[in-house]
Structure formats: structure tokens, C-alpha cells
């Protein structure tokens, strides 16, 4: 029995490792092509997080040498605060998030968490401290329970329910005949974009990381699901250092800092009110989006 148990246990470990590798590549920001591998320094120490303040200092980056994407980007997110990044499609918003997760190394400048350059610490420890709610959540062909507990293997059932409650999914799962054991994914229950995103939120709540990356879904959700997701997102980002990539400005009006990126440069920075008063790029984006959403709403 023991002889059988050990190899199966080991296979389970490999299975989990492979799935982890797959999800690391796939889950973030719709990346389909595997990025160039970044390497740990020999004997890289673990990241030590006290509050989790995040700093970009004069960051420059290009995916291909002849096409720079980010130019001298500097900002600090104090521990526990939220910084939202807005800007036109292709401005480089998701690239900031990929760099913070260290999918790529910067070409110039540095990124640090609590004063430690993220290139100097082990990738594993860096990623343990960062939670991600991506635009498109990849679900495993497994149970709802597994998909959430993946955030923290070994979590108890009670902790999973608590995460579901906070992510506003508890009622939904309680109504399923097989509850947490319901199979999801290609061969199981199909979930809507909003439900999948709330699964990602529950996963992060369970992982409980000090630093959070939110890549807001671009897909339009109905007002009811949008409200529920916003409530859940507000809860998950409270007291965590959050880098929020915003595609719709209505979702980030309460962020402590908003940064406007244009062709890889910061062109404006401030609160929603300050940026509206400045009457610049942000105010223009705001007016455009207000007009677009007025056109989308049905006539009275």
C-alpha cells in the first residue's frame, strides 16, 4: 500500500506543478506565448514583506529591442493603497502588471517591493506575495472547491466557503446540487465571465497576499453582475497594495491615485477629482466614456 501511495502522491505533486506552470503562463492578461524566462540570482533570498509598498523607479521596457513600450515610468503605491492605471489600448497598462509579476525583467530602472529590487529575490517568494485577478480567469477542469483552494492548498472547507461568501458566490454554489464538488471547465459547468472573475477573487481572498494586481475585465457585464464584482473587488483590495488596470473609468473613481499612461509614458497623475479639474487627458477619456455609455443605455 505504501509502495503504491508514494508514487501516486508524487504523481499528484507533478500534476499540480504542471498545472501551476500552465496557469502561470496562461492566466495573466491573456498571454498565450510563453515569455522569455527570467532567472533567479544564485541563492536569491526570499522577499520579506512588511507593508508591501510597491515602487517603479524610472522603468524602461521593450518586448522587442526596436520597439520600446515603457519610457521612464516612476510611481510609488504606499502599503495598502490602490493605484489605478488608465490609458488608451496599447498604452502599456498590462505591461506594468506583467513586470511587477516579473514575467519579464525591466530594461532600465527598477521595481521594488518594500525596498527590495524584485530581481534580487526569488521568483517563487515574489509570486507568493502577489495575488492576481486577471481579465480572463483560466479554470481547471476540476471542481469549484479545487479551483478556489488552488489559492492556498490545504485550506479548510470552512475557509473556502468564507472566501466564496466574500466573493459574492456563496448563494450560487450552495444552490448547485453538488456544491463545492461541482465540476467546472470544458467538461463541466460553464460559468459566465462574471462568475469566473468572482472565482478568481475567491482564490485571491484565500491566498491573502499583501500585493494585488487587478486586470479589470473588458467584457461588458450587465449592471447587476458589475455591481457584485465591484463590491467583491473593493473588498479584496481593501488594505492590500493594489495595482489596478482599468479599462472603464467608472470602476476606479475611488482609487487613491490614478495614473494616465500614453504611449508608455505617464502623462498625468492624481485623484479622480484632481484629474477632472486639470481638464487634460483623463478628463477627455472620462467625457468619451460617459458619452459612449450614454449611447449604450436604452432610451427612457
Binding site for ligand ATP (CB under 6 A): 33, 63, 69, 87, 89-95, 247
Helix axes 157-166, 223-237, angle to 10 degrees: 120
Nearest approach in angstroms of CB 207 to ligand ATP is 24
Neighbours of 218 (CB within 10 A): 13
Q: Closer to ligand ATP at the Cβ: 93 or 203? A: 93
Neighbours of 224 (CB within 10 A): 9
Nearest approach in angstroms of CB 89 to ligand ATP is 3
Q: Closer to ligand ATP at the Cβ: 81 or 247? A: 247
Cα–Cα distances in Å, from 23 out to 19, 26, 137, 179? 6, 5, 9, 24
Nearest approach in angstroms of CB 129 to ligand ATP is 22
Q: Closer to ligand ATP at the Cβ: 129 or 247? A: 247
Nearest approach in angstroms of CB 152 to ligand ATP is 28
Q: DSSP labels for 24-49?
A: HHHSSTT--SPPPPP-PPTTPPPP--
Cβ atoms of 252 and 246 within 8 Å: the answer is yes
| Cα–Cα dist 116/107, whole Å | 17
The residue length of the chain stands at 300
Q: Closer to ligand ATP at the Cβ: 167 or 259? A: 259
Q: Closer to ligand ATP at the Cβ: 69 or 275? A: 69
Nearest approach in angstroms of CB 76 to ligand ATP is 20
Amino acid at each position: 500500500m505504501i509502495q503504491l501511495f508514494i508514487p501516486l502522491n508524487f504523481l499528484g505533486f507533478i500534476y499540480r506543478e504542471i498545472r501551476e506552470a500552465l496557469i502561470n503562463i496562461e492566466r495573466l492578461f491573456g498571454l498565450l506565448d510563453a515569455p522569455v524566462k527570467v532567472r533567479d540570482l544564485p541563492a536569491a533570498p526570499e522577499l520579506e514583506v512588511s507593508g508591501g509598498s510597491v515602487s517603479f523607479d524610472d522603468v524602461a521596457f521593450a518586448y522587442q529591442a526596436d520597439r520600446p513600450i515603457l519610457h521612464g515610468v516612476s510611481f510609488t503605491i504606499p502599503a495598502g493603497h490602490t493605484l489605478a492605471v488608465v490609458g488608451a489600448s496599447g498604452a502599456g497598462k498590462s505591461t506594468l502588471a506583467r513586470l511587477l509579476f516579473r514575467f519579464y525583467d525591466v530594461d532600465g530602472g527598477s521595481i521594488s517591493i518594500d525596498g527590495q529590487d524584485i530581481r534580487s529575490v526569488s521568483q517563487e517568494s515574489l509570486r507568493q506575495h502577489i495575488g492576481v485577478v486577471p481579465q480572463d480567469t483560466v479554470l481547471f477542469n476540476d471542481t469549484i472547491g479545487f479551483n478556489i483552494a488552488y489559492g492556498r492548498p490545504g485550506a479548510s472547507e470552512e475557509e473556502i466557503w468564507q472566501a466564496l461568501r466574500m466573493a459574492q458566490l456563496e448563494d450560487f454554489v450552495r444552490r448547485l446540487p453538488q456544491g463545492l464538488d461541482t465540476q467546472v471547465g470544458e467538461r463541466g459547468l460553464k460559468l459566465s465571465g462574471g462568475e469566473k472573475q468572482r472565482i478568481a477573487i475567491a482564490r485571491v481572498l484565500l491566498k491573502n497576499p499583501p500585493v494585488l494586481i487587478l486586470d479589470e475585465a473588458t467584457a461588458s457585464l450587465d449592471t447587476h453582475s458589475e455591481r457584485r464584482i465591484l463590491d467583491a473587488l473593493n473588498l479584496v483590495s481593501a488594505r492590500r497594495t493594489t495595482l489596478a488596470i482599468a479599462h472603464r473609468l467608472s470602476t476606479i473613481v475611488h482609487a487613491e491615485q490614478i495614473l494616465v499612461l500614453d504611449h508608455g509614458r505617464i502623462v498625468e497623475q492624481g485623484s479622480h477629482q484632481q484629474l477632472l479639474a486639470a481638464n487634460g487627458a483623463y478628463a477627455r477619456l472620462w467625457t468619451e466614456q460617459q458619452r459612449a455609455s450614454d449611447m449604450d443605455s436604452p432610451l427612457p
